């Protein structure tokens, strides 16, 4: 049994994937930015399908029914696992989608062909492949159909039935979901050969096999955590982690030895001046620094800045954790930012904004490291004192955060290493009092958002478009969306503007939106070429994320007045008449040059 090592690098694999699916009728989309534009249910895109939720739920996609891309993703819920062979907080997901077009037969065939074809795909060894399929439960039957299809390609005894815990996929408590079939690859040098299900499960535990692809058959819908029935159409959502594919192709037993990380690991070793750690600790620390700085670079390139809330908090936490492990390695103070250009090199021609934003990236990393270092030494003294006293109260943990800049998770990690506890509940109470930290750490924020398609959320989404048009009318064309977060209760909207917006202007914007509501406008969806939309003055940020043909949503009154025209993925109300009364309840600064408003419909 050969251990495949074809010499293909990350760039070639990404390209082969896109070409393979383009040849099979898929439109290739650019990656959406890491921060979802209109979806408050998550802080970052955590899967390739996330930006496509409205389309999986039925909105027609302007590029058609077959799509493929390589999507930038961030998942930090397993941050403490980083340092092992496979965990990384930033990764790219190669994916292909069928929006009510092909289903299991073609999805499985193409997954298998891409993985094993030497000419068009990856040329992986079929004898190292294992497959799992859904065993069935009260929500959906055993997936015999997928099993039968797989038997055309795989010996039956290497296809294992698994429960929903393993083989049911959904992006959260709400939205499209379904049973999946997953492909695993044997990365050992000896080769595992045929395995019983029990042997296979323990190989999985040992990370001797790694999941390299997941085909989700999305024909169900979840609401509030429960499967409530079938969607109007049968979709396919596939995802394959590029970093893991690389391990399989390049014959490595961990992601950090693949070409994507290799120059970065070399640079870290170069910067390390010999810390005091043991060899195992060094390997772990090197991987943590590499992973966290890489993720930070990608976040900053997509506009995230270190802060104490939401995405900014995750970025801060990653950078501060990287500083701590840089010290384990003896990496010189103020040198973490030197890793950024090495990281950017791998994404030239793929995500060019990483190189374009290098100035911002280096500055942000440098400043965050500097800020943290100013208090780090005293903070470590303080935490050491608390640890030797035997416990850390919530109030003390809060002081470590507010005075010494220690993210709570870092305090918990220090404490755990010494086997003592931190009163997290008390910390949270203390925190709420100071109203700063979001529930960062797990990207899953709260239920709802546009994915839930709820009436109130949808109406607030339409109101948000009108508000942006109003802000541009009274504050000028320099105003653009910088972020948006909509729940059933309110819309929170960030936009570019250099100074405070006075109440009398907010009143005018309110009146503008309410006029559009009272005139009972119609919301029209038009598909047009991106250049035509730009030429017509259609509003949009992140133009580069959209395909050549875009959906333009406009709000037009019966007398022909156009109140808003904006690029969007929907959903919106059909008519504005019953939305309620629009009110802007708050205006504040969030960062330099960015203002935030909160508004409601009453
Ligand atoms: N959404 C699925 C996953 O993330 C397949 O892309 O695994």
In this predicted structure, the answer to whether residue 445 has a pLDDT above a threshold of 80 is no
**Which of 92, 170, 239 for a ligand 1 pocket mutation test, highest count of atoms within 8 Å of Cβ?**
239
482 pLDDT tier (thresholds 50, 70, 90): confident
- Best mutation site among 216, 217, 222, 451 for ligand 1 pocket (most ligand atoms within 8 Å of CB): 216
**Residue 5 predicted with pLDDT over 70:** no
d(CA 573, CA 517): 11
Query: Is 60 exceeded by the pLDDT of residue 49?
Result: yes
Q: Whose CA is nearest to atom 2 of ligand 1?
A: 239
**Residue 281 pLDDT class (50, 70, 90 cuts):** confident
- Express each pLDDT in 116-157 by its tens digit: 999 999 999 999 999 999 999 999 999 999 999 999 999 999
- Asked if 42 and 127 sit in the same domain, the reply is yes
Residue 406 has pLDDT above 60, yes or no: yes
Residue 542, pLDDT > 70, answer no
Q: What are phi and psi of 571, to 5 degrees?
A: -85, 160
- To test the pocket of ligand 1, the residue of 67, 169, 235 to mutate (highest count of ligand atoms within 8 Å of its CB) is 169
506 inside domain: yes
Nearest to 55 by CA among 281, 185, 233: 233
Per-residue tokens: 233: 């159409």
CATH no. for residue 60?
A: 3.30.930.10
Whole-angstrom Cα distance, residue 47 to residue 85? 20
In a domain, 167, yes or no: yes
Residue 451 pLDDT greater than 60, yes or no = no
Q: What's the 94 CA to ligand 1 centre distance in angstroms?
A: 9
Q: Is residue 2 domain-resident? A: no
CA-angle at 403, arms to 399 and 404, nearest 5°: 100
The rounded Å distance from CA 131 to ligand 1 centre is 15
Closest atom of ligand 1 relative to the 215 alpha carbon: 5
Residue 3 has pLDDT above 60, yes or no: no
- Whether 35 contacts 27, CB under 8 Å: no
| Residues 312 and 361 both lie in one domain | yes
At 241, phi and psi to the nearest 5?
A: -75, 120
Task: Answer yes or no: is pLDDT of 342 > 90.
Answer: yes
Nearest in space to 130 (alpha carbons), one of 164, 157, 109, 168:
157
**Ligand 1 centroid to residue 150 C-alpha, Å:** 19
Closest CA to 16 of 109, 120, 117: 120
CA torsion sign for 330, 335, 337, 342 is negative
Pick the atom of ligand 1 nearest to 216's CA.
5
Nearest to 95 by CA among 54, 50, 145, 57: 50
**181 domain residue, yes or no:** yes
Residues 64 and 207 in one domain: yes
Same domain, 97 and 216: yes
CATH number at residue 585: 3.30.980.10
Q: Of 406, 425, 446, which residue sits at a domain end?
A: 446
How confident is the model at residue 6, as a pLDDT? 59
Do 26 and 42 lie in a common domain?
yes
Q: Which domain holds residue 198?
A: 10-257
Same domain, 217 and 288: no
Considering only CA atoms, which residue is closest to atom 4 of ligand 1?
47
Dist CA 264 CA 586 (whole Å):
44
Helix, strand or coil, per DSSP, at residue 311: helix
Whole-Å CA distances, 52 to 43, 58, 253, 484:
16, 10, 32, 17
- Are residue 246 and residue 296 in the same domain, yes or no? no
Query: Is there a single domain that holds both residue 333 and residue 245?
Result: no
Query: For residues 34 and 302, is the Cβ–Cβ distance under 8 A?
Result: yes
- Residue with CA closest to ligand 1 atom 5: 239
β strands within 29-89, DSSP E: 66-74
pLDDT of 232 over the 70 cut: yes
The residue from 398, 415, 446 where one domain ends is 446
What percentage of the chain exceeds 90 in pLDDT? 66
- Looking at residue 440, its pLDDT comes to 43
Report which protein residue has its CA nearest ligand 1's atom 3.
239
Confidence of residue 446 (pLDDT cuts 50, 70, 90): very low
> What does the H/E/C string look like for 181-217?
EEEEEECCCCCCCCCCHHHHHHHHHCCCEEEEEEEEE
286-337 pLDDT, tens digit each: 999 999 999 999 999 999 999 888 899 999 999 999 999 999 899 988 899 9
- For residue 4, being part of any structural domain is answered with no
> Do 424 and 294 have their domain in common?
yes
One domain for residues 20 and 132:
yes
pLDDT, residue 438, reads: 44
C-alpha 97 to ligand 1 mean position (Å): 11
Find the 239 Cα to ligand 1 centroid distance in Å: 5
Evaluate whether residue 423 is within a structural domain.
Answer: yes
Q: What is the DSSP letter of 452?
A: G
Query: Ligand 1 test: best mutation among 44, 47, 235, 241, most atoms within 8 Å of CB?
Result: 47
Residues 429, 486 share a domain: no
Q: Has residue 175 been placed in a domain?
A: yes
To the nearest whole number, what is the mean pLDDT of the chain?
90
Q: What is the pLDDT of residues 374-386, one digit of tens each?
A: 888 889 999 999 9
Atom of ligand 1 nearest to the CA of 240: 6
Using CB distances shorter than 6 Å, the residues near ligand 1 are 47-49, 95, 169, 214, 216, 237-239
**From CA 308, how far away is CA 368, in angstroms rounded?**
12
Q: Average pLDDT of 50-78? A: 92
Residue 429: predicted pLDDT:
86
What is the average per-residue pLDDT within 80-88? 90
Q: Which of 194, 227, 257 corresponds to the end of one domain?
A: 257
Tokens of 186: 């044997």
Number of domains within the chain = 3
Specify if 1 maps to a domain. Answer: no
Residue 452 confidence (pLDDT): 52
Measured at the alpha carbon of residue 483, what is the angle toward residues 481 and 486, in degrees to the nearest 5?
110
- Does residue 509 sit in the same domain as residue 544? yes
Pocket test for ligand 1, best of 78, 94, 180 (most atoms within 8 A of CB): 180
Residue 250 Cα to ligand 1 middle (Å) = 23
Give pLDDT, residue 275: 60
Pick 526 or 50 by higher pLDDT: 50
Q: How confident is the model at residue 562 (pLDDT cuts 50, 70, 90)?
A: very high
The arithmetic mean of pLDDT across residues 213-238, rounded, is 96
Instruction: Give distance in angstroms: CA of 435 to centre of ligand 1.
Output: 34
Q: What does the pLDDT read at residue 37?
A: 75
R_g of the chain computed on alpha carbons:
25
């Amino acid at each position: 049994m050969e251990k495949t090592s074809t010499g293909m690098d990350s760039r070639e694999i990404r390209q082969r994937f896109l070409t393979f699916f383009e040849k099979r009728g898929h439109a290739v989309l650019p990656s959406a930015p890491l921060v979802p534009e209109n979806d408050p249910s998550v802080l970052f895109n955590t899967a390739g399908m996330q930006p496509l939720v409205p389309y999986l739920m039925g909105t027609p996609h302007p590029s058609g029914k077959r799509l493929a891309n390589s999507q930038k993703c961030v998942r930090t819920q397993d941050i403490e696992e980083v340092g092992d062979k496979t965990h990384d907080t930033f990764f790219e997901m190669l994916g292909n989608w069928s929006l009510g077009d092909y289903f299991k037969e073609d999805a499985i065939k193409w997954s298998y062909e891409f993985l094993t074809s030497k000419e068009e795909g990856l040329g992986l060894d079929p004898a190292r492949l294992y497959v799992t399929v859904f065993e069935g439960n009260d929500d959906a039957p055993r997936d015999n159909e997928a099993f039968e299809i797989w038997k055309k390609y795989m010996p039956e005894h290497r296809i294992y039935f698994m429960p929903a815990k393993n083989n049911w996929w959904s992006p959260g408590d709400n939205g499209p979901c379904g049973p999946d079939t997953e492909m695993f690859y044997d990365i050992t040098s000896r080769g595992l050969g045929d395995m019983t299900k029990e042997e296979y499960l323990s190989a999985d535990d040992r990370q001797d096999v790694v999941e390299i692809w997941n085909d989700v058959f999305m024909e169900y819908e979840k609401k509030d955590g429960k499967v409530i029935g079938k969607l109007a159409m049968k979709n396919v959502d596939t995802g394959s982690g590029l970093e893991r594919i690389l391990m399989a192709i390049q014959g490595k037993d961990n992601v950090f030895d693949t070409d994507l990380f290799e120059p970065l690991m070399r640079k870290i070793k170069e910067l390390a001046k010999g810390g005091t750690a043991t060899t195992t600790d060094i390997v772990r620390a090197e991987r943590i620094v590499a992973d966290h700085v890489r993720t930070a670079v990608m976040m900053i390139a997509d506009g995230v800045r270190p802060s104490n809330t939401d995405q900014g908090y995750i970025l801060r936490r990653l950078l501060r954790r990287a500083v701590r492990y840089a010290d384990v390695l003896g990496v010189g103070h103020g040198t973490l930012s030197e890793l950024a250009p090495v990281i950017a090199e791998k994404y030239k021609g793929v995500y060019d904004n990483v190189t374009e934003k290098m100035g911002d990236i280096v500055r942000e990393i440098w400043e965050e490291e500097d800020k943290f270092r100013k208090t780090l030494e005293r903070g470590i003294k303080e935490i050491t004192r608390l640890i030797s006293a035997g416990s850390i109260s919530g109030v003390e943990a809060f002081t470590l955060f507010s005075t010494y800049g220690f993210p709570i998770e870092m305090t918990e990690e220090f404490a755990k290493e010494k086997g003592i506890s931190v009163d997290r509940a008390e910390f949270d109470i203390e925190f709420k009092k100071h109203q700063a930290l979001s529930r960062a750490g797990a990207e899953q924020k709260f239920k709802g958002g546009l994915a839930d398609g709820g009436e109130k959320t949808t109406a607030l989404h339409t109101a948000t478009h009108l508000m942006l048009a109003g802000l541009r009318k009274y504050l000028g064309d320099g105003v653009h969306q910088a972020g948006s977060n909509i729940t059933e209760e309110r819309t929170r909207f960030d936009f570019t503007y250099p100074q405070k917006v006075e109440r009398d202007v907010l009143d005018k914007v309110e009146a503008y939106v309410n006029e559009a509501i009272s005139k009972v406008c119609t919301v029209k969806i038009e598909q047009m070429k991106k250049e035509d939309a730009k030429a017509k003055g259609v509003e949009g940020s992140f133009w580069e994320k959209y395909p050549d043909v875009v959906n333009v949503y406009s709000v037009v009154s019966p007398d022909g007045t156009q109140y808003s025209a904006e690029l969007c993925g929907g959903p919106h109300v059909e008519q504005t008449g019953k939305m309620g009364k629009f009110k802007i309840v708050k205006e504040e600064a969030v960062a330099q040059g960015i203002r935030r408003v909160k508004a409601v419909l009453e």
